[in-house]
A and B are shown apart, each in its own frame.
Chain A
């Protein structure tokens, strides 16, 4: 590159850096200015742990819609799915306790916290408001041989352990309710989990099971389904024909429900908590809000602070008990073998993995008389299969289910056999062009690629992208820097306007600027 284009490159890079810093500066206000302004000082983020369309998502959006009648504050619903709520929880706890981030939470999250070993996180939140309670119920198919509760129980007693009860995930709220019901009735049945409630309902409509555990509003619009029993103190006004478990002689199960509410990071200042109390009071008293939920049999409440916290703690203890019984979590005195997730375990795993890769590569290369690099692929896959096989020894054994370990072991065994075929198979004829040469740009492009996300997390997407694009284009011997500026600037504008502003993709702003 000649001196002139080198100067132009440096100037171009400098312009982009200055511009990008300017953009960041506009979006980050000085702390002093922020602290003097009343709450809220910026849009309030409502973090929802499910994808859009789920009931907690609908709840949050409905709340935002009705809250706008009572306050000018801007609420933005942000969907952060992943790990049953752990990703959303971590996202909320990573924000400052300034009241601008709410966590839309359900009872299912508590189950997930317990099963993932994060149950101590319950104490990191201020439990702001429990907004509604959706009673658990047992739903049957009118056209089946067990259309009502009485026939359901009689069938369960005549076929112990044979009945299929349908619902969402194993270890979730609905499964726990089913377990409690079986215990109360003195029967045994099988829980058949599905990806979501909709699929389980479809299975019930197809008579693949005798009962579905869910909420009353899930029968709306489905004429073949009926509520065999509902967990409530009294019959629901919206479903007057649905008997309660108490009426049917089942004691102790009249308050099983799915609740939904909001939590906020612990340590949020009291005036902000009071602000939320007021607006939540207004929303929960709003006729639109109440009618919307009560028409589906949902009880609208507003339980705050300590009362909500006590509910959460009680649920946490209950989940600890039942999830241990289901062997989803190990009890205190049960050992599950080597801990692959601990610091030592992870290090040992990485070392073992690397050793297997190296040794197998060498064996492969010597048998097939090829470079060691070619042996890396089958050895990587074999090492992974060995590692996964070893970890399956820590999984609990199941009863009637073939278990979490079976198919991974079958896949691992298949890999060993298939690698054998590859190892002993016909060799491709060596040619002078068997492997294409590396261009000089390749190492710098790969290096830039690996650094790109790291730089983006610290300096922000826009600055990192500007640097990345210029560096990679330079590696590819681009000399027309006007076109480069145009391309880079145009892409940054599209990313900002389309992804960030229009589609609300929260492109990273960079830890350096956020702090």
Chain B
């Protein structure tokens, strides 16, 4: 009951025209930032920090949290409409979102991503409010061995995203893992495979690679095939999914929201991994797994719900322990410090109005996101109607700006276009490109946590820790069981 009282007090603090305006501004700005490839949620939050100097801490944190929440959704807009994910996590949304657009159903993709985001964000916030303490303890109990095991589980989703030729899919995933080793080795400090190029000390950045492999390669493929006809938008039925379709997606949305919140709690895990894992889990438990990757609304729902709910998860270590759970929460910590607010467990006692005002504002921000998203989607759908001879060159120019914006470097633009040409060539010869992204996203988590675990407790740690062993066995099982089942089917048939 005390929780409800505190939450009610939080709502009374933000239900005035000024705080609501702040939330609306933050959500609007966040959607734009997230939608633009190359502009990350953390960048959006950071850009507004100077504007918050003159604000009180409550208003400042409400604004920044709204930007963070909305930017994670914003990435799905360009992922669905032009296959240029605005954020790395939105890459998973693009797997099924863009095929829906290609089929003339952008409204389905945008509608599902919006509802899944809103519901996922709300569930993530509710879990944050109710279970922040236990979730924080869970995060602290995780050993590098368990992080390694989760990353291995994530890698097994290569089967979900790699298409029919397993050897090519695994080859691409390992290629991504190999590319991820470029740069300064985080454990030993040795510079690997940079060939004297300064920009490669941090390896290839994920966003330019994503934009290249997804957006640029898609444009090049379509231009190479000469497929420049206008996509006919399906207006024969309702542009948006019906209530019934949304309800049929509710188990996926709810389960993905829980997965996303839990994964978001672990510092360094983040929205991208949450999206991949929940996509894979949804596909494995789906009655129509063959539709995934070809425009399955369930795929979009799983990715977006996990993506948005991870925001609530990432706020758990920030608020309860004062530890950033993601790049965006690291900026939030900096912003709080500028306002002389020290995040940590004592904040719940000393600044409870700030905390519960924040919780209330997140719930309101999700509602604002829904309203703005419904109106905004009419505009986004029109983008899909732009004739391709105009759209494709603009997409390539957006790719330039997006990849440049990451660290104001033309090297990243060359990276983007280089991976774009590579992606085109791979697709032409029927090699899947998504496993490369999977390898690059999970590569550093796999390697650093494996080596940290071995450094701390030796090789036997992977067997001695029950949770790690369980996750590894589940991972192995999730790969072997489908293979054995399909072999058995072939034998019996």
A residues sitting closer than 8 Å to B (CB atoms) are 51-55, 57-58, 61-62, 65, 77-84, 86-87, 90, 115-116, 164, 169-171, 190, 192-196, 198-199, 201-202, 205-206, 208-209, 220-223, 292, 323, 326-328, 340-342, 346, 349, 373-374, 376-378, 381, 384-385, 388, 391-392, 395-396, 398, 400-404, 407-408, 411-412, 414-415, 418-419, 421-422, 425, 428, 435-439, 441-442, 445-446, 449-450, 452-453, 456-457, 461, 465, 468-469, 472-473, 476-478, 483-484, 487, 491, 495, 498-499, 503-508
Which B residues touch A384, using CB under 8 A? Answer: 175, 178
Q: With A and B bound together, what is the CA distance between A57 and B47 in angstroms?
A: 12
Whether, in the assembled complex, B201 has its beta carbon less than 8 Å from a beta carbon of chain A, the answer is yes
8 A Cβ contacts from B126-182 to A: 139-144, 165, 167-168, 170-171, 174-175, 177-178, 181
Asked whether B226 lies within 8 Å of A439 as measured between CB atoms, the reply is yes
Give B351 Cβ to nearest chain A Cβ, in Å: 11
Q: With A and B bound together, what is the CA distance between A206 and B265 in angstroms?
A: 14
Asked whether A398 lies within 8 Å of B188 as measured between CB atoms, the reply is yes
Asked whether B331 lies within 8 Å of A52 as measured between CB atoms, the reply is yes
Q: With A and B bound together, what is the CA distance between A369 and B317 in angstroms?
A: 57
If A58-B338, A206-B142, A401-B188 touch, whether A446 touches B421 (CB-CB below 8 Å) is yes
If A82-B201, A401-B451 touch, whether A408 touches B393 (CB-CB below 8 Å) is no
Asked whether A407 lies within 8 Å of B181 as measured between CB atoms, the reply is yes
Q: With A and B bound together, what is the CA distance between A403 and B420 in angstroms?
A: 33
Asked whether A83 lies within 8 Å of B202 as measured between CB atoms, the reply is yes
Which A residues touch B413, using CB under 8 A? Answer: 452-453, 456
Whether, in the assembled complex, B214 has its beta carbon less than 8 Å from a beta carbon of chain A, the answer is no
Give B231 Cβ to nearest chain A Cβ, in Å: 15
Which A residues touch B446, using CB under 8 A? Answer: 407
If A51-B331, A377-B426, A401-B451 touch, whether A491 touches B397 (CB-CB below 8 Å) is yes
If A52-B331, A438-B224 touch, whether A401 touches B187 (CB-CB below 8 Å) is yes
Whether, in the assembled complex, B104 has its beta carbon less than 8 Å from a beta carbon of chain A, the answer is no
Asked whether A377 lies within 8 Å of B425 as measured between CB atoms, the reply is yes
If A222-B322, A341-B194, A414-B174 touch, whether A422 touches B187 (CB-CB below 8 Å) is no
Q: With A and B bound together, what is the CA distance between A487 and B165 in angstroms?
A: 41
If A193-B187, A198-B324, A436-B224 touch, whether A404 touches B192 (CB-CB below 8 Å) is yes
Which A residues touch B189, using CB under 8 A? Answer: 115, 169-171, 323, 326, 328
**A83, A396, A412, A508 — which one has the most chain B CB atoms within 10 A of its CB?**
A83
Residue of chain B at shortest CB distance from A88: B407
Asked whether B140 lies within 8 Å of A221 as measured between CB atoms, the reply is no
Q: With A and B bound together, what is the CA distance between A472 and B49 in angstroms?
A: 39
Give B75 Cβ to nearest chain A Cβ, in Å: 15
Q: With A and B bound together, what is the CA distance between A499 and B9 in angstroms?
A: 39
Whether, in the assembled complex, B321 has its beta carbon less than 8 Å from a beta carbon of chain A, the answer is yes
Asked whether B46 lies within 8 Å of A377 as measured between CB atoms, the reply is no
Asked whether A221 lies within 8 Å of B345 as measured between CB atoms, the reply is yes
- Report which of A78, A208, A408, A503 forms a contact with B192, defined as CB distance below 8 A: A408
- Report which of B184, B188, B456 forms a contact with A190, defined as CB distance below 8 A: B456
Asked whether B185 lies within 8 Å of A404 as measured between CB atoms, the reply is yes
Residue of chain A at shortest CB distance from B426: A377
- Report which of A83, A327, A476 forms a contact with B198, defined as CB distance below 8 A: A83
- Report which of B171, B225, B324 forms a contact with A436, defined as CB distance below 8 A: B225
Which B residues touch A206, using CB under 8 A? Answer: 140-143
Which A residues touch B454, using CB under 8 A? Answer: 400-402
Residue of chain A at shortest CB distance from B398: A491
Give A153 Cβ to nearest chain B Cβ, in Å: 20
Asked whether A58 lies within 8 Å of B337 as measured between CB atoms, the reply is yes
Asked whether B201 lies within 8 Å of A415 as measured between CB atoms, the reply is no
Q: With A and B bound together, what is the CA distance between A292 and B53 in angstroms?
A: 14
If A346-B195, A436-B224 touch, whether A422 touches B168 (CB-CB below 8 Å) is yes
Asked whether A221 lies within 8 Å of B171 as measured between CB atoms, the reply is no
Residue of chain A at shortest CB distance from B317: A202
Which A residues touch B268, using CB under 8 A? Answer: 195, 199
Residue contacts A-B, CB under 8 angstroms, 27 given: A58-B334, A82-B202, A83-B201, A195-B186, A195-B448, A202-B140, A209-B456, A220-B322, A323-B189, A327-B190, A341-B194, A374-B429, A388-B178, A401-B451, A407-B447, A407-B451, A415-B174, A418-B174, A436-B224, A445-B220, A446-B220, A452-B413, A453-B410, A473-B389, A487-B390, A503-B405, A506-B408
Whether, in the assembled complex, B428 has its beta carbon less than 8 Å from a beta carbon of chain A, the answer is yes
Asked whether B409 lies within 8 Å of A435 as measured between CB atoms, the reply is no
Give B178 Cβ to nearest chain A Cβ, in Å: 4
Asked whether B389 lies within 8 Å of A478 as measured between CB atoms, the reply is yes
Asked whether A201 lies within 8 Å of B323 as measured between CB atoms, the reply is yes
Asked whether A472 lies within 8 Å of B396 as measured between CB atoms, the reply is yes
Asked whether A469 lies within 8 Å of B393 as measured between CB atoms, the reply is yes
Asked whether B178 lies within 8 Å of A449 as measured between CB atoms, the reply is no
Give B396 Cβ to nearest chain A Cβ, in Å: 6
Whether, in the assembled complex, B271 has its beta carbon less than 8 Å from a beta carbon of chain A, the answer is no
Residue of chain A at shortest CB distance from B194: A341
The 6 closest A-B pairs by CB, nearest first: A221-B344, A52-B46, A341-B196, A83-B201, A53-B331, A439-B226
Knowing that A377-B425, A487-B390 touch, tell me 4 more A-B residue pairs with CB under 8 angstroms.
A62-B338, A221-B344, A376-B425, A478-B390
- Report which of A54, A446, A452 forms a contact with B400, defined as CB distance below 8 A: A452
Which B residues touch A57, using CB under 8 A? Answer: 46, 334
Asked whether B186 lies within 8 Å of A169 as measured between CB atoms, the reply is yes
Q: With A and B bound together, what is the CA distance between A304 and B360 in angstroms?
A: 48
Asked whether A202 lies within 8 Å of B321 as measured between CB atoms, the reply is yes
- Report which of B139, B393, B397, B430 forms a contact with A202, defined as CB distance below 8 A: B139
Which B residues touch A61, using CB under 8 A? Answer: 49-50, 338
Asked whether B140 lies within 8 Å of A205 as measured between CB atoms, the reply is yes
Which B residues touch A83, using CB under 8 A? Answer: 184, 198-199, 201-202
Q: With A and B bound together, what is the CA distance between A115 and B168 in angstroms?
A: 38
- Report which of B196, B224, B340, B408 forms a contact with A442, defined as CB distance below 8 A: B224
Which B residues touch A65, using CB under 8 A? Answer: 53
8 A Cβ contacts from B305-354 to A: 317, 321-324, 327, 330-335, 337-338, 340, 342-347
Asked whether A53 lies within 8 Å of B334 as measured between CB atoms, the reply is yes
Which B residues touch A54, using CB under 8 A? Answer: 330, 334
Give A413 Cβ to nearest chain B Cβ, in Å: 10
Asked whether A401 lies within 8 Å of B195 as measured between CB atoms, the reply is no
Asked whether B187 lies within 8 Å of A52 as measured between CB atoms, the reply is no
Which A residues touch B324, using CB under 8 A? Answer: 53, 196, 198
Q: With A and B bound together, what is the CA distance between A162 and B317 in angstroms?
A: 29
**A206, A223, A457 — which one has the most chain B CB atoms within 10 A of its CB?**
A206
Asked whether A418 lies within 8 Å of B167 as measured between CB atoms, the reply is yes
Whether, in the assembled complex, B394 has its beta carbon less than 8 Å from a beta carbon of chain A, the answer is yes
